[in-house]
Structure 1
Amino acid sequence: MALPAELTRKDTLDKDLDKIASVEEAASLLSRGLVAPGLALLFIVFAAVAASIYVMGQPGAVVIVAAAAIGGYMALNIGANDVANNVSAAVGARALTLGSALVMAAIFETAGALIAGGDVVETISKGIIDPRLVSEPNVFIRLMLAALVSSALWVNLATWIGAPVSTTHAVVGGVVGAGIAAVGMGAVDWSIMGAIAASWVVSPLAGGVVAALFLFFIKSTIIYQDDKLTAARRWVPVLIAVMAGAFTTYLSSKGLNHVVTFDGWTLTALGVGSTAIFWVLSSKFVAFQSRGMENRNQSLRKLFRLPLVISAALLSFAHGANDVANAVGPLAAIVSAAQGGGVEARVGIPFWVMLIGAAGISIGLLLFGPKLVRMVGEQITKLNPMRAFCVALSAALTVIIASAMGMPVSSTHIAVGAVFGVGFFREWYTANSPRRRAYLERKMARRRAEREASAETIAEVLADEADLDNRGAPPVSREEISRRNLVRRAHVRTIVTAWVTTVPASALLAMGAFHLIGLAF
């Protein structure tokens, strides 16, 4: 007896369609991951084409075009890695969304590079190599190309593993390695290298200590006061004024130093004057903002959000003005040497070279910056606007203090060290502060007067003390509060290892690149 046709038919069409749909979905996900690298590659090609337009028919055109492509690649990596330090605290504190932070940083980075980036840079970074030892133009060009390639590759690797590193140190390592390959160990000024190595320790420690001191001040004078709003109206304007004075001095000495130069007394006057002016303005701002607020830590966040946004913009501007030289400095030196200008200690930067650097930093930030922004702002330790304010203030103030004392520091190490300092200080303070313990006891005693204390009541007190919004959410346990307070040690180990190995790793890469370039050309 024959079976009905519907029983013998295999439903292969539906299965095949499901397989096709799965393949399409997988292809879509794969192609989505290739969009950013594809756009980056297009920018590198654009940099090479733009360079060819300017130098076509001139001496050394082929070398300059190749160097422009490598310089564009380096600029992309600077944007992907280094810029995260400027906006990550504001993003981690939710004062800015990730998208708005990236767009704002890209605008201010570009503005800083083009307006205040300077038209002259040192050809041998930080004076670590004597230009007289590499006076042969062909050797010098190979040295600069090798430094660019090695530093770009190292920063790219650091971004991939999630480690914010100093791009200045990467360039320094590249110059050292290529210089050793070119003329030997005697070419390096090891005293300057010793100072740079010392900055690996000084920079994060200084940034962490300054940030921790400000957080201690905020906790002591505002957070652990029974009348938080009155305390905030008294002290928040002072903190904002100090930040205004610090950033005025920071921008005057670091962000605009290529445009106008101020002496020490002028910088001091500018800092003190802006501090006084912004204390008056911020007193009115805080008084207005605090009207009708509840007397709880959650309310204090609003008072710090606007200063955080402004600080992120100013840090981005200063970074664009200073660190664009890491991408365009070696490129400008290659252009000068290739066009017959010889080997000079300092060279001018053509506008098209500066444009490649500025555009590359901004595009690299938009395409690849989110990974490092999230890591620094959210994954090392939990930030809120008050803690993020301490990080931003430390980033500006520590650079000013270190510069005044003649200490070499890294702004990247300072910013990340400030995040470490805030996190480790919270761990210590939570476990050891008698002020905090007394405050919690008073707060829970008042709750007992209102109703019988329960585990949920205690959790609510701890959540408010830790600046966690517990309204409408399940009770937060003491273990969860403690877990959120901890600094993630795995990130600390990864970042510190990357810091220590940046110069030697870039140097080794540069040695290899120097010899490979010699074979290619």
Structure 2
Amino acid sequence: MTTALLALIGIIALALVFDFINGFHDTANAIATSVATKVLTPAQAILMAAVLNVVGALTGTAVAKTVYKDIVSPDVASLTLVAAALVSAIIWNLLTWWRGIPSSSSHALVFSLVGAGLAAGGWQAIIPKGVNKTLAGLVTSPVLGFIIPIVLMFLIVWLVARRMRPRTVTRVFGRLQILSAAFMAYSHGGNDAQKTMGIMTLAVSAYLGTQLGTVPLWIILAAASAMGLGTAIGGWRIIKTMGFGVVELRPIDGFVAEMSAAAIIEGASALGIPVSTTHVISTSIMGVGATKGFKAVRWQVAGRIVAAWIITLPTCTALGWLCMKAAQLF
């Protein structure tokens, strides 16, 4: 077995570790609202999310293609570069998980890849198309995540909920929230697992010396399984922040937040845009809270979340650059 093949195997393993960490880091994206509203028990929510994350991860590869074809030039793509990007993203994910901050695993990976690419070949090594697409998703998805739940909540209240007794509203939307939580878990798997598929495909392409036309089936299955297993472990620190720390949620609130976020994520996946599922569900929860009045949202907690989003890009770019420079010394 050659040294290069051993390196590839190690990097694939590292990518699956990242995917696993991504899964438990982002468990809150799929289940925090349904746990907070007590529609599902934590065990039920995690099991459902783990299964549907896997199912969602098997549904497409448009986002994966953006990651492995449109972020860094194939001229600088190497096993070392992929390893540096993964180490950088893992460090950031673990730090934010430990602090209970729902940061973006997606942007951590993409901008760690950008940083490693800059260290390997300068600005000419970066492909604007994929980076611009990621930045567009970074800006538009949280905005939509905040606005759409406000509109949807007013429509539901006007058309349906105002004609029901409060107890009936809670019962009906408690049942509907099980479906919305399932949709959220499915969409999360469909977008987030594809980033790892993309980085693994990039590693295989670097090893072979040529870009692959499609994402191999074994990569799809491996990434889906690692994401599902990580989700099954559960990231309780972040679940507490998102489910209980931002706004007090009722079943109707959870339903609106999850349906809005899942629809946005599904649209992004179809367009091949690597968005942050964390950003989308967080802003959807804020949007739902805003319909109750300004004071209903714990803006101090929301501010911590937004601050984490802002610092993820430059921090992971710098981390990726540092990891690549360190790897080049050996």
TM-score range, shorter chain: 0.7 to 0.9
What does residue 129 of structure 1 align with? 72
Name the Cα RMSD after superposition.
Answer: 2.9
What does residue 236 of structure 2 align with? 370
What does residue 71 of structure 1 align with? 15
Q: Which runs of 5+ in 2 are unaligned?
A: none
Using the TM superposition, give the Cα deviation of residue 157 of structure 1 relative to its aligned residue in structure 2, in angstroms.
1.6
1:323 aligns with 2:192: yes
Q: Which runs of 5+ in 1 are unaligned?
A: 1-56, 230-295, 429-484
- Distance in 2 of aligned mates of 1:330 and 1:405: 18
1:87 to 28, 31, 45: 31
Per-residue CA distance 1:32-79 (angstroms, 9 max, x = gap)? xxxxxxxxxxxxxxxxxxxxxxxxx36623202321331122012211
What does residue 172 of structure 1 align with? 110
Quick check: 2:21–2:230 contact (8 Å CA) kept in 1?
yes
Quick check: 2:67–2:195 contact (8 Å CA) kept in 1?
no
SS at match of 2:48: helix
What does residue 61 of structure 1 align with? 5
Quick check: 1:98–1:370 contact (8 Å CA) kept in 2?
no
1:518 aligns with 2:298: no
- Distance in 2 of aligned mates of 1:150 and 1:88: 27
* Within-5 A mapping of 1:317-356: 317-338=186-207, 341-344=208-211, 346-349=213-216, 351=218, 353-356=219-222
2:247 to 350, 366, 381: 381
- Distance in 1 of aligned mates of 2:314 and 2:209: 29
Query: What is the identity, as a one-letter code, of the residue corresponding to 1:143?
Result: L
Quick check: 2:141–2:280 contact (8 Å CA) kept in 1?
yes
Using the TM superposition, give the Cα deviation of residue 105 of structure 1 relative to its aligned residue in structure 2, in angstroms.
0.7
1:106 to 44, 50, 54: 50
Using the TM superposition, give the Cα deviation of residue 414 of structure 1 relative to its aligned residue in structure 2, in angstroms.
1.9
Change (3 A) 1:66 1:320: same
Aligned residues: 330
Query: What is the identity, as a one-letter code, of the residue corresponding to 1:152?
Result: I
Per-residue CA distance 1:449-492 (angstroms, 9 max, x = gap)? xxxxxxxxxxxxxxxxxxxxxxxxxxxxxxxxxxxx62122221
What does residue 258 of structure 1 align with? none
1:299 aligns with 2:109: no
What does residue 415 of structure 1 align with? 281
- Distance in 1 of aligned mates of 2:313 and 2:93: 11
- Distance in 1 of aligned mates of 2:172 and 2:129: 46
Quick check: 1:117–1:320 contact (8 Å CA) kept in 2?
no
- Distance in 2 of aligned mates of 1:517 and 1:187: 18
2:319 to 501, 504, 509: 509
Change (3 A) 1:408 1:332: closer
- Distance in 1 of aligned mates of 2:303 and 2:2: 49
- Distance in 1 of aligned mates of 2:212 and 2:314: 24
TM-score (norm 2): 0.88
Query: What is the identity, as a one-letter code, of the residue corresponding to 1:397?
Result: A
Percent identity, please.
30
What does residue 311 of structure 1 align with? 180
Query: What is the identity, as a one-letter code, of the residue corresponding to 2:187?
Result: A
- Distance in 2 of aligned mates of 1:349 and 1:58: 22
Change (3 A) 1:487 1:125: farther
What does residue 217 of structure 1 align with? 155
- Distance in 2 of aligned mates of 1:326 and 1:406: 10
Quick check: 2:195–2:274 contact (8 Å CA) kept in 1?
no
Query: What is the identity, as a one-letter code, of the residue corresponding to 1:141?
Result: L
What does residue 124 of structure 2 align with? 186
Deviates more, 1:172-181 or 1:364-373: 364-373
Determine which structure has greater relative contact order: mean sequence separation of CA pairs < 8 Å that are 6+ residues apart, divided by chain length: 2
- Distance in 1 of aligned mates of 2:175 and 2:69: 36
